[in-house]
A and B are shown apart, each in its own frame.
Chain A
Amino acid sequence: MSDMRYVVPRTLDEAVGAFAEAKGAARILAGGTDLLVQMRAGAVRPGLVIDIKKIAELTGIEETADGGFRIGGAVAGARLAEHPRFGKVWPGLLEAINLIGSTQVQGRASAGGNLCNGSPAADSVPAMVAAGAVATLQGPKGRREMPVEDVPAGPGRTNLQPGEILVGFILPPRPLGSGDAYLRMIPRTEMDIAVVGCGVNLTLKDGVCTAARVGLGAVAPTVLRVDAAAKALIGSRLDAAALDAAAAACRAACHPIDDKRGTIAYRTEVAGVLLKRAAGIAADRAKGA
């Protein structure tokens, strides 16, 4: 017999209340595609599981009046893919979210869960960082906002306070001439954890890069925002020299580990390759936009 409890709050307040009350013994269930694997492996034994999928705010997708988006923390990737506008505005971010696991996993897994799971290899996070997404958090002390890159604290850890729940993401409005892209390296074509992931978001004006953000995954204990790479792109026409400099900046930012999924040398090398390729795709999209 299990000593776990399962609750399905209808409001965020209820959820936060239950989460705070459980004092660390509880886990939030969105898509569950990480949580259930961890439970089965015995890696976590929650006393309480809080299913947040019946809370309206956590499952909505809303295009704001200024052209930005609000995405609920528990929105499954497959639902985002079906949104008529989201993929047009944020194709790279959507691709990243839709690279999380199989079709089956897509039916359940959310960007919110991907972020809160704290994996440095989470596919959606580098793209979110590149997009300049901001996470909305709600806890016993109320609501606050935190840039996505500040959420991860280390493998499996976040900077959320006890009792805090990730409500959703705010994506800024897109200036004209913007494009984003996310690429990851995996040995197979699907079903792998990223060996390296790279998200690039940039804006072009008359062929010159006026703004850029770069996120890198699986090359450090947390997903990185690589400002030096962005800097190398900004002001350039994304010529070979600028791309080389940005790639070098990505490689310099890497401090990965050797593990079953990749080596330090390989990850470092590939980070630069992906930066160049992702920047190319993002630029094409910016020109098309």
Chain B
Amino acid sequence: MAKLHISATVNGEPTEFLCEPDETMLDVLRGPLGLTGSKEGCGSGDCGACSITLDGRLVCSCLMLAAEAEGADIRTIEGMAEGDTLHPLQRKFLEMAALQCGICTPGMLVAAKALLDRNPDPSESEVRYWLAGNLCRCTGYDKIVRAVLETAAEMREAVR
């Protein structure tokens, strides 16, 4: 079977790629597109390390066919900072040591950003349930949750 030709927007850039019909978005991101910031921890949607947004919605790129990206707006961890300016979440994760090994960090950040885009003032419980699909084995989540809450507070302050 011939490869499919897909046109999408990836991190704001018009992007074309070829994929097998059964290839996942994660495989295409990590392979032909060279965007290895999205990680494969499980390949079955249980760890969230491959989190991206698809037309603004948080999804696991391992649970999406690459072919489904046709005409879609895809955002990955690589598109989170603007130039050399880190997103407030990225900065706060560094300041508050919300990462240890760093393998879950890209997915965690993409997921946290999707939360704050919708809910600028989440409770601790809302943060915890929103991020329940992003496994971290290093931190016990404590510093991650604190960093997300702190970022939200700062961003609210900045808007004022």
List residues of chain A with CB under 8 Å of any chain B CB.
1-6, 8, 29, 31-33, 36-37, 39-41, 49, 51, 53, 76, 78, 101-105, 107-108, 189-191
A101 and B70 contact, CB distance less than 8 A = no
- Please judge, given known A-B contacts A29-B65, A108-B59, whether A8 and B70 are in contact too, CB under 8 Å: yes
A33 and B132 contact, CB distance less than 8 A = no
* Cα–Cα, bound, A191→B136 (Å): 14
Find chain B residues with CB under 8 A from A49 CB: 21-22, 65
A102 and B48 contact, CB distance less than 8 A = yes
Can you name the residue of chain B whose Cβ is closest to the Cβ of A45? Answer: B22
Find chain B residues with CB under 8 A from A31 CB: 63
A104 and B65 contact, CB distance less than 8 A = no
Find chain A residues with CB under 8 A from B70 CB: 8
- Contact partner of A104 among B4, B22, B24, B48, CB < 8 A? B48
Can you name the residue of chain B whose Cβ is closest to the Cβ of A3? Answer: B1
Does B133 lie at the interface of the complex (its beta carbon under 8 Å from any beta carbon of A)? yes
* Cα–Cα, bound, A37→B45 (Å): 8
Interface 0/1 of B1-28, CB less than 8 Å to A: 1001000000000000000111110000
User: How far does the Cβ of B5 sit from chain A's closest Cβ, in whole Å?
Assistant: 12
* Cα–Cα, bound, A285→B78 (Å): 45
- Please judge, given known A-B contacts A105-B63, A191-B133, whether A33 and B22 are in contact too, CB under 8 Å: no
* Cα–Cα, bound, A78→B4 (Å): 29
- Contact partner of A191 among B4, B46, B58, CB < 8 A? B46
User: How far does the Cβ of B50 sit from chain A's closest Cβ, in whole Å?
Assistant: 9
Extra 18 A-B pairs, beta carbons < 8 Å, given A8-B70, A32-B64: A29-B65, A29-B68, A31-B63, A32-B63, A36-B62, A36-B63, A36-B65, A37-B45, A76-B57, A102-B45, A103-B114, A103-B131, A105-B63, A107-B58, A108-B57, A108-B59, A108-B64, A189-B129
- Please judge, given known A-B contacts A104-B48, A107-B59, whether A40 and B129 are in contact too, CB under 8 Å: no
Find chain B residues with CB under 8 A from A108 CB: 57, 59, 63-64
User: How far does the Cβ of B81 sit from chain A's closest Cβ, in whole Å?
Assistant: 22
List residues of chain B with CB under 8 Å of any chain A CB.
1, 4, 20-24, 43-46, 48, 51, 54, 57-60, 62-65, 67-68, 70, 111, 114-115, 129-134
Find chain B residues with CB under 8 A from A39 CB: 22
- Contact partner of A78 among B48, B51, B57, B111, CB < 8 A? B57
Can you name the residue of chain A whose Cβ is closest to the Cβ of B67? Answer: A6
Can you name the residue of chain A whose Cβ is closest to the Cβ of B4? Answer: A6
A104 and B1 contact, CB distance less than 8 A = no
- Most B CB contacts (10 A, CB to CB) among A1, A31, A189, A191 go to A191
- Contact partner of B64 among A6, A36, A41, A189, CB < 8 A? A36
Find chain A residues with CB under 8 A from B68 CB: 29, 32, 51, 53
- For this complex, 30 residue pairs linking A to B, each with C-beta atoms less than 8 Å apart, are A1-B20, A2-B21, A2-B22, A4-B22, A6-B65, A8-B67, A8-B70, A29-B68, A32-B63, A32-B64, A32-B65, A33-B45, A36-B24, A36-B64, A36-B65, A40-B44, A49-B21, A51-B68, A101-B45, A102-B48, A102-B60, A102-B132, A103-B58, A103-B114, A103-B133, A105-B45, A105-B60, A108-B57, A191-B46, A191-B133
Find chain B residues with CB under 8 A from A76 CB: 57
